[in-house]
Amino acid sequence: MTAPEKSALEALRHRIRAFETGGGAVRPVFRPGLGAIDRALPGGGLARGAVHEILGAGGDEEDGALPAAFAALVLRRLEGVVFWCTGAADLGAAGLAAFGLGPERLVIARTRRDEDALWAAEEGLRAEGVVAVVAEVSALPDVAGRRLQLAAEAAGRPLFAIRRWREASRAARERERPSAAATRWRVAALPSLPPPGEPGVGCPRWRVDLVRCRGGHPGSWILEFDDAAHPRAFPADAADGPAVASPGRARA
């Protein structure tokens, strides 16, 4: 690529970014505090006024355990009340607290239907005193997704949409569907690596895929926890330890 082509590309990127942010200057971001992942994100962090999707992998698409923990991990750096709407109401508060989201910061709503969850999430984005919203939904229709994106942008608060599906077939269909979200993450468990000779379960290890990212590049990382407040992230390609089969690294 020659120099003029490069500058033309840069100019185009700049213009597209301007469209996406409504012509505004730099979008405010917050740093999730995940080392290498922070650095790979456009602007050095997650956009504040945007929708971020978090998916599980395999059986966890139904349980939503890792996405919940990932949301808690990301939100530990934001101060203030987090509004969490969940259909199953199966949150383990002690477990979330271990990832940095204490119960005193959580306001929970049990929503029986997706429509209620989407409505509550939108209200939550507009509410004063809420710093971020987490919504567990199975369907995220285009229109609803754009509404939430606009509400998030207007309020300057992030919405984390944890996608949970009951049936594998539905999961397979929905997983690849494009959405209005700024980022889409997929979090999968990896076998723990306890020191040799030590019995029992080791510290958690996750594979975190940034499947799509508006204005940035997808990526994959391994996240290791020595203690839950200070995870270490390094690119999945450079991971030492046993090679882990990536479940078809999707690009958006």
Partner 1 sequence: MAVADAQALLPALLLADADPAADAAFLARLAEWCRRWTPYPAVDGSDGLLLDITGCAHLYGGEQALLDEARARLGALGLSSRGAIADTPGAAWALAHYGSKAATLVPPGGARAALLPLDISALRLLPEDAQLLARLGLTRVEEVAALPRAALARRFGDRVARRLDEAFGAAPEPINPLRWRPAHRSRLAFAEPIGAPEDIARAVRRLIEDLCRHLECAGVGVRRLVLAAYCCDGEAPQIAVGTARPARDPRHLAKLFEEKLAAIDPGLGIDEMTLDATIVEPFAARQAELRIDPPSRAAESREGAAVVAMPLRRASSNARKGGDAEDLARLPWVPKPPKRAEPASPAPPIDDGLAAFIDRLAARLGPENVFRLAPVESHVPERAQQTLPIFAPFKRSWTSSAPRPVRLVAMPEAVEAVAPVPDDPPLFFVWRRVRRRVVRADGPERVASEWWHESAPPRDYYRVEDEEGRRYWLFRAGLYEPGLAPRWYLHGVFA
The contact set with partner 1 (CB under 8 A) reads: 58-60, 62-66, 68-70, 72, 80-81, 83, 88-99, 102-111, 116, 119-120, 123-124, 126-130, 188-192, 194, 199-202, 204-206
CB of 191 to partner 1, least distance (A): 4
Q: Which helix (H) or strand (E) holds 181?
A: none
CB of 67 to partner 1, least distance (A): 9
Q: Which residues contact 100 (CB under 8 A, 6 or more apart)?
A: 72, 73, 75, 76, 77, 228, 229
Residue with Cβ nearer partner 1 (52 or 214)? 52
Residue with Cβ nearer partner 1 (205 or 214)? 205
d(CA 56, CA 91): 15
Residue with Cβ nearer partner 1 (98 or 250)? 98
Residue 43 CB-density burial (10 A; 0-12 exposed, 13-18 middle, 19+ buried)? middle
C-alpha distances (whole Å) from 171 to each of 55, 65, 118, 133, 139 are 10, 16, 19, 23, 10
| Tokens encoding 72 | 């808690």
CB of 72 to partner 1, least distance (A): 8
CB of 94 to partner 1, least distance (A): 4
Place of tokens 């078809």: 248
Residue with Cβ nearer partner 1 (104 or 240)? 104
CB of 26 to partner 1, least distance (A): 27
> In this structure, which amino acid lies at residue 195?
P
Place of tokens 């979200």: 181
Residue with Cβ nearer partner 1 (5 or 128)? 128
CB of 96 to partner 1, least distance (A): 6
CB of 224 to partner 1, least distance (A): 12
Residue with Cβ nearer partner 1 (42 or 100)? 100
C-alpha distances (whole Å) from 33 to each of 109, 112, 185 are 27, 33, 16
> In this structure, which amino acid lies at residue 104?
E
Residue with Cβ nearer partner 1 (27 or 105)? 105
Cβ contact 109:139 at 8 Å: no
Cβ contact 226:68 at 8 Å: no
